[in-house]
């Protein structure tokens, strides 16, 4: 929000929203992970979803930046997503073989 996308957006709303998201993760994740059906695929999905969400949201910071910076971010994000997908396939095959 502070990168010029919405400079009039109230910082207090962003802070409260961030705290609510963090609190819900702290409250919900331990309950989910202690369930009998939770496995490595679920852990992977939480990590990959968090990483992917962070990569997508961080594009806001590149509005108005140099093209080279944006291209570098796109390439690095695509590589990270590809490596995470490969890791996911390996985890899935390891869980399936057990």
Q: What does the domain layout of the chain look like in residue ranges?
A: 1-37, 39-98
Residue 57 phi/psi, 5-degree rounding, is -65, -35
Residue located via tokens 């390891």: 94
Per-residue pLDDT tens digits for 10-53: 888 888 998 999 999 999 999 999 999 999 999 999 999 999 99
State the Cα–Cα distance between residues 66 and 58, nearest whole angstrom: 15
pLDDT at position 47 is: 93
């Amino acid at each position: 929000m502070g990168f010029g996308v919405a400079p009039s957006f109230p910082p207090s709303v962003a802070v409260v929203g961030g705290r609510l998201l963090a609190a819900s993760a702290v409250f919900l994740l331990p309950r989910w992970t202690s369930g009998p059906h939770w496995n490595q695929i679920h852990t992977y999905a939480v990590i990959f979803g968090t990483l992917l969400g962070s990569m997508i949201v961080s594009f806001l910071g590149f509005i108005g930046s140099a093209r080279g910076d944006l291209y570098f971010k796109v390439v690095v994000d695509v590589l990270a997503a590809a490596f995470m997908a490969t890791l996911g396939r390996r985890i899935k095959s390891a869980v399936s073989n057990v």
